[in-house]
């Protein structure tokens, strides 16, 4: 069992390593080289190596007899096999080969080589990871602040809308009351005028009868 391969293409593996802020270990496989079989059996395809690489790196491998592997071998200038390279990718997409190992290597020597790279160049990744995490935290803080502002704005708008609605209802209530009052006053005035007119008519009729 070899380390877990990430991505179907070399470019995908580079992008994954950049995203995860890890070193990328690239293995170029030459099926017909005399050192390939013992390397795969005794070094690469062991549980110890699989666990170590999976825990600390992004891993990709390609075969030189296939287009993607051949392209990677050409780009990395592999001259003998087994070929391994450790790669980093900067935020501006600049890919750098930290170191490369060509030829037969034991499991212990390979792990020591990888650990040395981690120790000497790992702090750069740690710093980059801290920078990315800080930017992510700042972005989350801004998003939370924006969300809180938008929520506060929405609540203010809702309060204003409720106040306007209450004011509209109160204005309508006062208008109805004033209209009802005016109508009642008009009816009362009309009643009083009718009664007064009737009284005058009765008085006039009594005066006519007396005369």
Give tens-digit pLDDT for 97-151.
999 999 999 999 999 999 999 988 877 776 766 776 777 788 888 999 999 999 9
What pLDDT is recorded for position 93? 65
What pLDDT is recorded for position 175? 92
**pLDDT band (50, 70, 90) for residue 92:** low
Report the predicted TM-score, pTM, of the whole model to 2 decimal places: 0.62
What average pLDDT score do residues 4-8 get? 91
CB 21 within 8 A of CB 135: no
What pLDDT is recorded for position 51? 95
Q: Considering the chain, what is the average pLDDT of its residues?
A: 90
Q: Return the ∠ at Cα 133 (arms to 129 and 135), rounded to 5°.
A: 120
**pLDDT band (50, 70, 90) for residue 91:** low
Residues 6+ apart with CB under 8 A from 79: 102
Cis check: omega of the bond before 82, within 30 degrees of 0: yes
Classify 77 in phi/psi space as left (phi over 0), alpha (psi -120 to 50) or beta: left
**pLDDT band (50, 70, 90) for residue 155:** very high
């Amino acid at each position: 069992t070899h380390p877990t391969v990430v991505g179907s293409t070399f470019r995908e593996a580079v992008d994954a390593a950049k995203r995860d802020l890890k070193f990328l270990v690239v293995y170029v496989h030459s099926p017909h080289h005399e050192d390939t079989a013992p390397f795969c059996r005794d070094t690469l395809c062991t549980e110890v190596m699989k666990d170590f690489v999976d825990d600390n790196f992004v891993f990709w491998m390609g075969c030189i007899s296939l287009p993607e592997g051949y392209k990677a071998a050409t780009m990395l200038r592999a001259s003998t096999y087994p070929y391994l390279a450790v790669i980093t990718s900067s935020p501006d997409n600049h890919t750098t080969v930290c170191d490369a190992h060509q030829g037969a290597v034991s499991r212990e020597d390979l792990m020591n080589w990888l650990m040395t790279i981690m120790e000497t160049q790992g702090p750069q990744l740690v710093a980059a990871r801290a920078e990315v995490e800080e930017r992510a935290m700042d972005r989350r803080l801004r998003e939370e602040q924006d969300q809180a502002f938008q929520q506060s704005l929405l609540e203010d708008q809702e309060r204003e809308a409720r106040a306007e609605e209450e004011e509209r209802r109160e204005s309508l209530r006062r208008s109805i009351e004033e209209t009802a009052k005016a109508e009642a006053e008009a009816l009362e005035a009309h009643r009083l005028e009718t009664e007064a007119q009737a009284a005058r008519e009765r008085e006039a009729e009594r005066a006519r009868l007396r005369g």
